[in-house]
Chains A and B, each alone.
Chain A
Amino acid sequence: MKSGLLALGAMASSILLVFLGVAQSQQPVRRPGFVDEAPRSAIQYVSNNSFAGRKYFPQPMCGGVAVFDFDNDGRLDIFFTNGASLPELKKKDPSFYNCLLHQKKDGTFEDVTAKSGLAGADLDFNFGVAVGDFDNDGFEDLFLCSIGRNALYHNNGNGTFTDVTASSGIGGKPPNTLSIAAAWFDSDNDGLLDLIVSNYTLWSPKTDARCMMSDRDYYCDPRRYPSVPHRLYRNLGGGKFADVTEKSGFAAAPGKGMGVSVADFNDDGWMDVFIANDTEPNSIFLNRKNGTFEEQGLALGVAYNENAHVGSSMGSDAKDFNNDGKVDIFYNNLMGQIWQLLRNRGDMFEYYSSISRIQKLSMAYSGWSTGFIDYNNDGWKDIYSANGDVDMMSPKSPQHDTMFENVDGKSFADVSEEMGKGFLRKGYQRGSAFGDLNNDGALDIVTTSLNETPRILRNTADTGNHWLMLNLIGHKSARDAIGAKVKLTTGSGRSLYNHVAVSTGFMSSSDKRVHFGLGRDTKISAVEIAWPSGVHQTLRNVPPDQQLVIEEALK
């Protein structure tokens, strides 16, 4: 967002201020950690990839996560996707069911899968989940990615969901297309959320290549499999979608899609799409504002690494890590490859992993879901990654999560060891989503691990730093306001940037609220919002340490 872009008046009448947080007492600044709260709840869910000796190609990608408030009770709930038995590709028993956890008042979770209708017994191996209120009815809906048919669930607003895939027209894709992740965004700024689906390859149990070494299976190199187009579905309204993959230009740039990140990279008011492609050049689709997109990965410097090589690009996120007003990109990689932090220079992205120390910090890890989160509320977005190698071939394969702390907008430090026992659990971590589960102003993390129970990592939030959480409600813009850009100016003059982004990392969907850590600043001079519709709003002298619901001005 350019400075001065949001110059004009707060619409006091359209702003509903809801004070939910508790003001923080002044404490010395310290580093928070995470506590695994999952054992407090009776969680039956285990991400089940059907591994039993024989290795099938999709198995390492199991356990998508969504953090969202499905019943609008003000507390975030959790949804997990799950695998299917192989080679049958069926959720043949409840151990493969997807799972919806409802957060109770005491902060524990209850399994409401059966009641909600989200078990997905008729689906197969599910990967990613994307949360978005596609019909603007005020209740968040779900899209699930699969080996077989993808599924769109409409939230009925009474704790139940209805599979509306067939009637919506959103499920179509070529047979055997592995759809890995998806993101809701308003591609044409018409106030309706469209959907981009990150597709990986064509695969079926019949075409699965078996790779063996010394009579032991290992997961085959992805380069054996072909690339496929990512698919864009345009929301026509009335619960209907049209597959505009060809017309929009997405078909022209196939890939092996993993993480998908939506943001306005060139700050022209239209949302663009970055897709991390495994062993293929990454893609950035720039919005041409006429229903079409142009793939510009090479020109913008995101397609390859600094040596013009592809990597095993995994999860991704797009946020402004250095608060210069431009959205940057991060994607992680496998062990021995460079996790890429790409700094947005305006006209192109530059490799920033070496200079920021990410290269050194990340070399030993295989990352999956990831995200920019300001875990310590100091105003700098840190980088979290859920780690664990693809295969289980060496003692270094099971890994713990990492937290790379953003020191000053220029460099990062590995503070993982200080994040607590639950954070450091080793395994094959996959999906992860972020959100303020207990509304205390600090971001929590929910992470899945292959064939293990998930972790619900509560942020200890004991830094003494201040914060602000914004829940933007669109009216002319889509209700979820995905892509709305926020510039916050603190009392001391710091400019902080963020935007509404739900699809983060890998196969996962995070809290849609926009979070700001303020450091020691106790005053907020201005909050400037640029809505996707083009509406601009400014709030002045906003008290910190609160959750604020901001409705889009109607004029």
Chain B
Amino acid sequence: MASHSAVLAFILLCRAASGQEDPERNLRQAVTLHQSGEVERALPFYRAYLKSRPEAVEARSNLGAALARTGRYSEAIVEYREALKRRPGDPGIRLNLALAQYKLGQVSEAATVLTDLHRERPADRQVLLLLADCRLRRGEDRKVIELLAPVEQQDQSDLAIAYLLGTALLRDKQVDRGQRVIDRILRKGDSAEARLLLGTAKMNASEWEAAIGDLEKAAELNPQLPDVHSYLGRAHIQTGDTAAARVAFTKELTLNPTDFESNLQLAVLLKLDQDYDGSRKLLDRALLVRPGEPRAKFQMAALNLAAGRLEEARLGLEAIVRQSPGFVEAHIALATAYYRLKRKADGDREKALAQKLTLEQRSQDNGEKFE
């Protein structure tokens, strides 16, 4: 994105130098400020220029990039979309749009843009990695494997690809295959990535204390490593250390505000600590990353229940059980909501449904789990 912007700036500067009028002076000023890092000051000059030249795609794209750099991703997205109306296929602007969406937590939207880009430009490594990361964040582990396995077979030296693929394989319970990919990272020596993968493998084996050791080492080697604090938080929860989990999730969200699991898990912890507003903000963000994700929707409804917003809880839970009739926990929570709303008959019905579903699950399990 940076090189793309630089080329654009050069072209615009050349145009400005060839004797344009006042609008061009605005543009020149905007680009100079933008390049010198004074992004905030560049914004009014871009806007002034675009007022007289609304069709200028490069300037609008530059404005989007400047807005993104100041963290105003929503506004950046508006500008990128406007630019794309005039130049629909522009790969640079589409990539910038996807990046802004990704940063804003609109992971699904980013994945859609990146999927098209990847189809058109399969050799673009940045697009590939970003798309894989979006899919991983959405929990689409198999799609990550489909995406990266062929690439990884051809080039086993790319540790970023090995890391993403290894994570997806482990999450998909393809432990042997995942282990082989991880081994390649481990052979490169002690690294944050290797420790993270070891930690996640130990989490899969429910070795929580050992996992915490690896994850803490990973965080020490590279505190900026994506996901490391998120996994650490999840491991701490399993040992009951919710205070340490809160610290870890907060760190992850500082680095990576769109991490779904950190948003979700920290929301649950805040809910237990009765910080309902804080919990709600995080769940909103989790649902932005994964719209409709059942666990996040359930936690939002459970939050409403805990906060006494019974009607909202009821509506949310009714929607969940409509969508997922076998979601036992949602039936249980819905029964609770009905009882608290003094709708005893509805509560009894949901309670009976939950009991029936539980019994069905147990009768299925009886042949397996309890043997």
Q: Which of A362-382 contact B (CB under 8 A)?
A: 362-364
B274 surroundings in chain A (CB, below 8 A):
350, 355
- Contact between chains at B242 and A359 (CB < 8 Å): yes
A298 surroundings in chain B (CB, below 8 A):
332, 335-336, 339, 347, 351
Chain A CB count within 10 A is highest, among B330, B366, B371, for B371
Distance in angstroms from B354 CB to nearest chain A CB is 8
Partner of A355, one of B273, B333, B366: B273
Tell me, yes or no, whether A413 is within 8 Å of chain B by CB: no
A223 surroundings in chain B (CB, below 8 A):
362, 365-366, 370
Tell me, yes or no, whether B328 is within 8 Å of chain A by CB: yes
Complex: A486 Cα to B183 Cα, angstroms: 65
Tell me, yes or no, whether B272 is within 8 Å of chain A by CB: yes
Partner of A354, one of B272, B328, B332, B371: B272
Complex: A354 Cα to B242 Cα, angstroms: 7
Question: Interface size for chain B: under 10, 10 to 19, 20 to 34, or 35 or more residues?
Answer: 20 to 34
Q: Are A338 and B370 also in contact (CB < 8 A) when A298-B347, A304-B332, A307-B329 are? A: no
B370 surroundings in chain A (CB, below 8 A):
211, 220-221, 223-224
A357 surroundings in chain B (CB, below 8 A):
243
Tell me, yes or no, whether A351 is within 8 Å of chain B by CB: yes
Complex: A363 Cα to B240 Cα, angstroms: 6
Chain B: CB-nearest residue to A352: B272
User: Using a Cβ cutoff of 8 Å, how many contacts connect chains A and B?
Assistant: 65
- Contact between chains at A360 and B365 (CB < 8 Å): no
Q: Which of B299-343 contact A (CB under 8 A)?
A: 302, 306, 328-330, 332-333, 335-336, 339-340
Q: Are A363 and B239 also in contact (CB < 8 A) when A306-B272, A355-B274 are? A: yes
Tell me, yes or no, whether A554 is within 8 Å of chain B by CB: no
Complex: A338 Cα to B333 Cα, angstroms: 19
A301 surroundings in chain B (CB, below 8 A):
336
Complex: A353 Cα to B271 Cα, angstroms: 12
Chain B: CB-nearest residue to A220: B370
Tell me, yes or no, whether A361 is within 8 Å of chain B by CB: yes
Q: Which of B334-371 contact A (CB under 8 A)?
A: 335-336, 339-340, 347, 351, 362, 365-366, 369-371
Complex: A309 Cα to B336 Cα, angstroms: 13
Tell me, yes or no, whether B241 is within 8 Å of chain A by CB: yes
Distance in angstroms from B270 CB to nearest chain A CB is 10
Q: Are A360 and B332 also in contact (CB < 8 A) when A224-B366, A299-B347 are? A: no
Q: A299-B340, A299-B347, A363-B240 are in contact. List 13 more A-B contacts (CB 8 A).
A: A211-B370, A211-B371, A223-B362, A223-B365, A224-B366, A306-B268, A308-B329, A308-B330, A350-B274, A351-B272, A355-B274, A361-B240, A362-B240
Question: Please, could you name 23 A-B residue pairs with CB atoms under 8 Å apart, sorted by A?
Answer: A211-B370, A211-B371, A223-B366, A224-B366, A296-B339, A298-B351, A299-B336, A299-B347, A306-B302, A308-B333, A348-B340, A353-B272, A354-B242, A354-B272, A355-B272, A355-B274, A359-B240, A359-B242, A360-B240, A360-B242, A360-B243, A362-B240, A364-B240
